[in-house]
Amino acid sequence: MPMHPMEKMLHQALFLQSAQRLDQCPPDEGLEVAFAGRSNAGKSSAINRLTGQRTLARTSKTPGRTQLLNFFQLDEERRLVDLPGYGYAKVSKSKRNEWQEHLDHYLSERQALVGLVLMMDIRHPLKDFDLLMLEWSAQANMPIHISRSKSLRGWRMSII
């Protein structure tokens, strides 16, 4: 059976670049969908699963490994973005605050951002920051999807 054009686009995803700050991001044009969630919730794994590539986004069992905004190009106009996790990570409080500041700038100022995927480890309830992300997306009129990870039956996506 022939591959659907969207599936083909996902499977051709390439790492584009990493950025620590908003001014280091690719040009603010086109369309981006960002993956957000707690540290070690499965953001990078979800990107790998969606793209059918095991090593596109770097994964680790250690929370806090994704420390930069990582951009993956689908085509000239579309990108996926792996955001640093929030919550538990074995880093200093000042480093976590720095990540938070950069994440806030990306979410509030990035014009190319057209949607969020909020990763939720099904073994843990939504935390305060997860709820803040949901509230922010509602206020910003930003489409958001909740993807549940780490269930015994595999990866699930729920749409809000």
Angle 87-104-85 from CA coordinates, rounded to 5°: 30
Distance (Å, whole) CA 105 – CA 61: 27
- pLDDT at position 50 over 50: yes
Q: For residue 61, what pLDDT is reported?
A: 67
What mean pLDDT is predicted for residues 52-79? 85
- pLDDT at position 77 over 90: yes
What domains does the chain contain, in order, with CATH numbers? 5-159 (3.40.50.300)
Q: For residue 113, what pLDDT is reported?
A: 98
Question: Mind listing the pLDDT tens digit for each residue in 17-39?
Answer: 999 889 999 999 999 999 999 88
What is the average pLDDT value for the chain, to the nearest integer? 85
CB 150 within 8 A of CB 42: yes
What mean pLDDT is predicted for residues 134-153? 87
